[in-house]
Amino acid sequence: MAAAGAIAGYDRMKEVKEFDESKMGVKAIGQIVEQIREAAKTWGFFQVINHGVPVSVLDETIAAIKAFHEQPTEEKSKYYVREEGRGVMYTSNNDLYRAKAACWHDSLQVWMSPEPAPADDIPAVCRREVVEWDQQATKVADCVMRLLSEGLGLEAGKFKELTFSDFRVLVGHCYPYCPQPDLTVGITSHTDPGIVTVLLQNQVQGLQVKHGEEWVDVKPLHGGLIINVGDFLQIVSNGEYKSVQHRVLANSNREPRISIVIFFNLCKWKGSGYYGPLPELLTPEKPAIYRDFTTQEFCENFYGKGLDSKSLIDKIKL
């Protein structure tokens, strides 16, 4: 454990209190670190339970996003814009003009940081729940990132120091009933571009993760949260953690599939404004496998095309 003050924002007494109240002991924590490290290396996805967020909060968040999408069109259309990267945006297929084909979903997007959307701009039907869920999901992500950091042999607070949660956006997807699910998909196969994603979903199945050459169904677990590695974390970890393809099938159920994702990304990095593998992970035996890149490269790659898989990683691979 680092000495107090060695890591920006490190609160030793808070860490000690949380450890003591968990009643887990160091052996159990070591097992959890190993489990998460292995899942991030081999699957890129894992589900967490006993995360400290009441199930009632999860259910209320899902219900609120569903309520937004079930509003009359004239009410939702007040928020229908295509100005990505800020504020509040309701749209169908945010990459509609960049992708080769449309998918069967609608989305409410709310920027939470570094320039949070004004609270009054968030639809009233889900305003309280969106703000609350952002806070709760960030706590979960912070805990997961501490464990992922330890899994790399780094200080637990390393990603906190790099402000991994200071750049985040919440997206509430609705996958309504599709009368011809064999002719389209809910969301096309892709990898997430950021550091890590926290996903909350209802009990309507549809998410699939690619493991090797197989597509694996992810069964919803009431009260569970799904965490997945993004392209950025694969780069930062120098390939130790894997960002993997995933997709959502078109919904053949009468009940809409609701999923709420918060994407986390780094705000701070090297003083030169470049991003790349963490220097602490590089050795003569394990040199960098990715070159450094800029924020501009990252944004141009994401906003210059439809959803895809690891295109930035492919561009910067050495």
pLDDT level of residue 28 (50, 70, 90 thresholds): very low
- Name which residue leads in pLDDT, 293 or 6: 293
Structure tokens at 186: 């809910």
CA dihedral over 223, 177, 182, 102, signed as positive or negative:
negative
3-state secondary structure 245-310: CEEEECCCCCCCEEEEEEEEECCCCCCCCEECCCHHHCCCCCCCCECCEEHHHHHHHHHCCCCCCC
Q: Which pLDDT value is given to residue 162?
A: 86
pLDDT, tens digit, 9 for 90 and up, residues 257-294: 999 999 998 776 666 678 899 999 999 999 999 999 98
State yes or no: pLDDT of 4 exceeds 50: no
- How confident is the model at residue 80, as a pLDDT? 85
What integer best gives the mean pLDDT of the chain? 86
Percent of the chain's residues with pLDDT above 90: 65
Contact between residue 132 and residue 59 where contact means Cβ atoms under 8 Å apart: no
pLDDT confidence tier of residue 16, bands split at 50, 70 and 90: very low
Question: Looking at the predicted structure, is the pLDDT value of residue 10 above 60?
Answer: no
Nearest to 50 by CA among 146, 140, 131, 150: 140
Give residue 29's pLDDT.
Answer: 53
Higher local confidence (pLDDT), 299 or 55? 55
Q: 184: pLDDT confidence band, cut at 50, 70 and 90? A: confident
Tally Cβ neighbours within 10 Å of residue 74: 7
pLDDT tops 70 at residue 161: yes
Q: What confidence tens digit (pLDDT) does each residue in 239-258 have?
A: 999 999 999 999 999 999 99
pLDDT tens sequence across 71-103: 999 999 899 876 777 899 998 766 554 556 668
306 closest CA partner among 167, 173, 190 = 190
Asked if 152 contacts 240 with a C-beta cutoff of 8 angstroms, the reply is: yes
